[in-house]
């Protein structure tokens, strides 16, 4: 089994809008199966503002859509330092030789930041089920009561399957001695077998006076029915009323 990896890094962006990071060309005779994607954000750290955002990958030779996920986030209060950890997503997708992968990035904030993406693949003929990923993010809320359908994700027609994992990330305004994060409850009313109950607590962050934090995305393994043309909804109950929003990525085959 021969493995390969290739990386692209984009120019710094200063807008909270979708931007092209760059492309990755797959050499002739070295196509195969994509097995993982790693994303790393290099941002100008700002107080109570989050780096990070949504990563999308497309392939010009085969239909990868939807294939998107959220990165980690970094922020600080007054003073602080944070690590830089890549977000790694295992997957299984057809990666033809001579194809081109295009990477897009949508930051959560307009501070200066740039994205690098590394794809990892196994050389040889592709076989098996494709991995798809579709994401959604709620609007900022300032409550400790349940926000019904805080996140809503529409699954494309003819691309249903089985959900294998849920990626969750909380985007909050870092406060001293206050915890971000909360309870997520998932449902899909079109599923043949009900998702309920499917609930979990997210990661969170906090600080005292000053400090920096890195919040990694949370990956929860599941096994759930996912019909095409259905809608995944997530209720969210924060632990505190600081401003925060939840993002989710549904990962299925």
- Tell me if 131 sits within 8 A of 119, measured CB to CB: no
Domain 3-123 and domain 135-252 have a common topology: yes
Query: Mean pLDDT for the chain?
Result: 97
What lies within 8 Å, CB to CB, of 51 at 6+ separation is 41, 43, 45, 73, 74, 75, 107, 108, 109, 111, 113
Q: What is the spatial distance between Cα 35 and Cα 37, in angstroms, rounded to a whole number?
A: 7
Instruction: Please give the model's pTM, rounded to 2 decimal places.
Output: 0.96
Predicted local confidence at residue 79, as pLDDT: 87
> Residue 1 — very low, low, confident or very high, per pLDDT cuts 50/70/90?
confident
Whether 109 has a pLDDT exceeding 90, the answer reads yes
Reply yes or no on whether the pLDDT at 80 is more than 90. no
Second-level CATH architecture of 3-123: Sandwich (2.60)
We find that the CATH architecture of domain 135-252 is Sandwich (2.60)
Taking only the tens place, the pLDDT of each residue in 174-223 is 999 999 999 999 999 999 999 999 999 999 999 998 999 999 999 999 99
pLDDT at 192: 96
Going from N- to C-terminal start, the domains of the chain cover 3-123, 135-252
d(CA 210, CA 177) in angstroms, rounded, equals 10
Percent residues over pLDDT 90 in the chain: 97
């Amino acid at each position: 089994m021969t493995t390969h990896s290739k990386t692209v890094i984009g120019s710094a962006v200063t807008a909270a809008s979708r931007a092209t990071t760059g492309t990755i060309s797959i050499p002739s005779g070295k196509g195969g199966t994509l097995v993982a994607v790693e994303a790393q954000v290099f941002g100008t750290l700002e107080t109570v503002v989050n780096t990070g955002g949504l990563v999308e990958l497309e392939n010009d030779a085969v239909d990868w859509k939807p294939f998107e996920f959220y990165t980690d986030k970094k922020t600080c209060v007054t003073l602080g330092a944070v690590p830089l950890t890549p977000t790694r997503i295992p997957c299984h997708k057809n990666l033809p030789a001579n194809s081109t992968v295009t990477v897009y990035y949508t930051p959560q904030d307009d501070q200066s930041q740039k994205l690098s993406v590394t794809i990892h693949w196994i050389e040889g003929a592709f076989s098996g089920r494709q991995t798809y990923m579709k994401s959604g993010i709620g609007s900022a809320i300032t409550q400790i009561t349940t926000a019904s359908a805080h996140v809503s994700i529409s699954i494309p027609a003819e691309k249903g399957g089985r959900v294998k994992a849920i990626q969750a990330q909380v985007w909050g305004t870092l406060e001293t001695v206050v915890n971000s994060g909360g309870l997520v409850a998932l449902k899909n009313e079109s599923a043949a077998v009900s998702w309920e109950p499917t609930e979990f607590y997210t990661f969170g962050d906090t600080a005292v006076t000053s400090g920096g934090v890195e919040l990694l995305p949370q990956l929860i393994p599941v096994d759930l029915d996912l019909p095409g043309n259905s809608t995944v909804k997530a209720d969210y109950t924060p632990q505190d009323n600081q401003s925060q929003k939840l993002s989710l990525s549904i990962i299925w085959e």
